[in-house]
Amino acid sequence: MKNTSIKVAWFVFAFMAIGVSMYPLVYIYQAFQEGEFGLRQSKALDLLASSI
């Protein structure tokens, strides 16, 4: 019984670690698909077009 619970705990740990590490990759992939990401996403087009 103890061995099974350790395996389950490691499986849950691995699953959550993979999920946490995939989140930034999904965010970056989605941002590049939309064209604007990070702080640029909240800026107006006029401000982005300015050369100053």
pTM: 0.51
pLDDT value at 46 more than 90:
no
Q: What pLDDT does residue 30 have?
A: 77
- Give the model confidence (pLDDT) of 7-44 as tens digits: 999 999 999 999 999 888 887 787 777 666 666 667 78
Instruction: Answer for the pair 43, 49: CB distance below 8 angstroms, yes or no.
Output: no
The per-residue pLDDT for 11 is 96
- The reported pLDDT for the residue numbered 47 is 79
Q: Burial level of 30, CB count in 10 A (0-12/13-18/19+)?
A: exposed
pLDDT at 2 over 70: yes
